[in-house]
A and B are shown apart, each in its own frame.
Chain A
Amino acid sequence: MTNRFILLLFFLSGSLVSSEITHQPAGIYVRLNQKAVDYVADLASDALPAILNNLSPPDIKTEVATISKLHISNVAKPNISAKFIDGKGVAYNITLASFRASAFAEISVFVWTYEGDFTAELKELSIRSELHFVHNGTTTVTAPVCNVTHSELSLVFPPKSSLAALQSEIKGQIVSAIRDAVCSTAVEALTFVMAQKPISPESPSYEKPVAGDPNSFSVAELGASLCQVEKADGNEEEVTTPTPEDADSNSTIEASPQGYWGVDLSVNHPPTFTDEDMIIGLDGGILFNGWTADSAHQPHVLNKTRLDKKMVGILLSEYIPNTLFQHIYMYDLGNFKHRYTPTALPKMLQKLSKAVCSKCYVEVSANLTEQPRMEIDADLGARVQLSGNVSIMFHGREQLHDVLRANTKLHVTLKPTVRHSRIFGDVSLTNVDVNVFDLGLGGPLAAPIEKLFSFVVPRVLWPQVKKRLRFAMNRRGVKLPIFCGVELEHTELDFVDHAVLLNTDFSFDLPLFLTKFKTYLEVKSRMNPNLPKYVIV
């Protein structure tokens, strides 16, 4: 009996392990619980009437009809609810008490054309649907339950309008459009998102992203405006392109290769549902010029059970920063040059130095000699190993002199914690090794200077660097500010092997979002007639 029980346990544990292995490992796992869904549903319920009322969408053109001068009004606050379904997906209900849209329509039927104003009023629209996520190699989304009903749809036409003859057809088209939007379009969009994979630049189907129309609606731009730092004078901080430094500046940045960055949003771990929560895993790897970072490895088994308790749980593996490090190392993006000219000296010495040698300068440069690597440990925190060459050169009146060349290896440990939405932590320089292998000042001084560097860096320089990094090591902790309208509450930050865990509740500043959204749309719609705009009634 005991042997059978042991065999059963072995079989079950094997099944669990195999079910883990069938899914590709992901760099980032996100868990949402029912409380988060209820909160977002309430937000959506408040936001919809604020967004839709007095909105004038752009014209709609089909083969047989043109709908123009659209105006939406009388949108009541809907009741929105959603509930996870164990092993399947999510069920949602939307009940909208009233919705009114007025427009001008031109409809061509055979050789006749019907045109005129009309107003459509919908009452008690009810949508009840279930979205099921099925994984069989790829993830497909289906809507086996999709009921769209309404108690009343009335169309009002001006007297003697020719459109009145097409009343039933117009009603049918409206109901059909709503049903298609809910039951088909949403499903197709979700299936498309689930199937997204980055395409290698070598592939013939690869398309390099091009700069979009500056007047088009951009979610990234809207997000950036939402995340702008608020200013006391009411003006927002503008995002400006860094201007080139002037000729006398002492800071020179080495030109980096042209490129663009991206994030791999492949759904490696399809969404899995219980009655209480949903977990989804994304690759999360950083892309540079469309290339993935092949040498960065994803840990195969991450402890997702720790994503619990709060509205949102995020498990971020060391794979993600290591993909960034690979690109930085492979494409020489970590090279640094800093030039000190006489203008960098204190004013008292500037005139003297310019008189002695106005064109002299000291140049400090550094480059990575090994790919940086991050390791996350449950007890020690996040550790990064950096290796690089540092050189100092002096350019005199006529020639360039090597002052110093050194090879350095640094091991930095970082373990922040969060309690009561305050971040604590420490940054430690757990190891430093400096080897001076070429010294222009004279051979016998190399050894003492090497020892001096090995003492000065961790004992004096590093504490100053640590202070500038602003991690609070004292008793108070730094309060996490509201960022992008999101306030994290009751946040917990923990470390597990190979990953960082963040469990948190959150709240969202909806009035701020609505203000930003309407302002952004107003600006864009002035330049782009294909965007909706708000009509002041």
Chain B
Amino acid sequence: MATGVLKCPTDPAAIKKVHIDLWDEDCKFFNVDSLELFVVALPLESDDLMGRTWSDTNGHFQVTGCASDFGPINTPDPYIYIEHDCPHRTTNATEPIQIDVIPLFLPSIVRLGNIYLDRYLDDY
């Protein structure tokens, strides 16, 4: 279970009823430079939707879900995906935000704290 609070300084009303998904990442990654091979999924496998929620009027949310991956010592790799209407602080863009979550599983709760929707990773 992951909890957090959405923040949107550019439009405070944009934190209500925001759609938040919890996904399990399943991908195949091959690094040509180092010849490292990550085989973490079967062929043609895509990310699995674990859970879905919407934020309340104060931007608080709580999302939980289930997933399983094939193979030993292969626990889910959770991330949250946020679709929102909060304008970016300089460009006014409203791109979805994705954040990896530390894989602590129920009954443990991961408290993510404040998540700012008006700034992206490429800002600086």
Residues of A within 8 A of B (CB): 229-233, 235, 237, 419-422, 428, 458-460, 462-463, 467-468, 470, 472, 474-482, 487, 489
Contact = CB atoms under 8 A, between A and B. Distances in A.
A477 B121 contact: yes
A476 B99 contact: yes
B67 interface: no
B106 A481 contact: no
Given A481-B111, A481-B113, A482-B112, A476 B36 contact: no
Contact of A487 (B101, B113, B119): B113
Given A422-B99, A467-B40, A230 B35 contact: no
Interface residues of B, number: 32
Given A463-B36, A467-B38, A478 B100 contact: yes
Given A232-B109, A479-B101, 19 more contacts: A232-B64, A232-B108, A233-B107, A419-B124, A420-B116, A421-B113, A463-B36, A463-B38, A467-B38, A467-B40, A476-B98, A476-B99, A478-B102, A479-B100, A479-B113, A479-B115, A481-B102, A481-B111, A487-B113
Contacts of B112: 479, 481-482
B110 A472 contact: no
B35 A459 contact: yes
Interface in B62-106: 64, 73, 79, 98-104, 106
A235 B35 CA distance: 46
A232 B113 contact: no
B50 interface: no
Contacts of A482: 111-113
Contacts of B79: 476
For B64, B107, B124, which residue has the most chain A Cβ atoms within 10 angstroms?
Answer: B107
Contacts of A422: 99-100, 121
Nearest to B62: A232
B103 A470 contact: yes
A489 B36 contact: no
B122 to A, nearest CB: 9
B99 A229 contact: no
Contacts of A474: 100
B58 interface: no
Contacts, number: 78
A463 B111 contact: no
Contacts of A235: 107
Nearest to B103: A470
Contact of A230 (B36, B38, B102, B108): B108
B51 to A, nearest CB: 13
A511 to B, nearest CB: 13
Nearest to B38: A463
23 contacts: A229-B108, A231-B108, A232-B64, A232-B107, A237-B108, A419-B121, A419-B124, A420-B119, A428-B34, A462-B36, A475-B121, A476-B98, A477-B121, A478-B99, A478-B101, A479-B112, A480-B113, A481-B102, A481-B111, A481-B112, A482-B111, A489-B113, A489-B114
B1 interface: yes
Nearest to A233: B107
A479 B113 CA distance: 9
A231 B107 contact: yes
Nearest 7 CB-CB pairs, A to B? A487-B113, A482-B111, A478-B100, A232-B107, A231-B107, A230-B109, A476-B100
A451 to B, nearest CB: 16
Given A422-B100, A470-B103, A487 B114 contact: yes
A485 to B, nearest CB: 10
Given A232-B1, A232-B106, A462-B36, A477 B99 contact: yes
B37 interface: yes
Interface in B26-65: 34-38, 40, 64
Contacts of B106: 232
B104 A229 contact: yes
A331 B115 CA distance: 45
Contacts of A478: 99-102
A231 to B, nearest CB: 4
Contacts of A460: 37
A458 B104 CA distance: 28
A482 B37 CA distance: 33
B103 to A, nearest CB: 7
B121 A420 contact: yes
A424 to B, nearest CB: 9
Contacts of A479: 99-102, 112-113, 115
B102 to A, nearest CB: 6
Contacts of A480: 113
Contacts of B111: 230, 481-482
Contacts of B108: 229-232, 237
A460 B31 CA distance: 12
B40 to A, nearest CB: 7
For A235, A474, A481, which residue has the most chain B Cβ atoms within 10 angstroms? Answer: A481
A235 B102 CA distance: 20
B110 A481 contact: yes
Nearest to A485: B111
Nearest to B116: A420
B55 to A, nearest CB: 16
Nearest to A473: B29
Contacts of B98: 475-476
Contacts of A481: 102, 110-113
Contact of B37 (A419, A459, A476): A459
B117 to A, nearest CB: 11
Contacts of A462: 36
Nearest to A455: B35
Residue in B1, B102, B113, B115 whose Cβ sees the most chain A Cβ within 10 Å: B113
A232 B105 CA distance: 10
